[in-house]
Structure 1
């Protein structure tokens, strides 16, 4: 009996560092890097538009909070859900956060939306002095 020839992997010859040849655009000109200054906005000045959702649920956002405060939030939701509207933690937090965003836009930006900022564009890590 002869053994069948081993199958060749689709990854054979591919480099883990270099992009595949079809991913490299033909004649890609290097784009100039422009340093941001205090007068240059970090993002476009057009209002942020909600993107079309392709999934059933919106993207998850997480934050840190003391367990005692989290328990208070849950208690407030449970005891007011029939009269106030938010029926779950996500709805409650989204309404509270968007109310604060609208307040800040009214106070500091003439009621217009601030330029949008992408994920990982905010300062990260522990703030100095904490």
Structure 2
């Protein structure tokens, strides 16, 4: 056998679990501060990359902006993620309706379309079955 040492093998990649990612995101999300952080006038807003740096532009960008911070800025306040599965026919129907009515409704995305549909159906059911008042939250299950 050779005296050359075996190279270290990389750790196996874990399978992507969107439920775990969503749970981790909502569990670690913190409320946004009401006052913006002030920066010193001497410090530049963005640091220019060093000419002598051996890192690629992508590596410099990744090192300077954490991914978690970027996702928190995109997330709307007080939101929660849900997983929604639709039949292909219903999805195609939604896309067609959205595309044909966009100029009249102002709804520009599928998420906005779904949020609007949920809001309208909840309002209809509250009007029909609860005198226009929001339904109370369901009670927690009782463990016996």
Q: TM-score range by the shorter chain?
A: 0.3 to 0.5
Normalised TM-score (structure 1):
0.45
Normalised TM-score (structure 2):
0.41
Taking CA–CA contacts closer than 8 Å with sequence separation of 6 or more, which of the two structures ends up with the larger relative contact order? 1
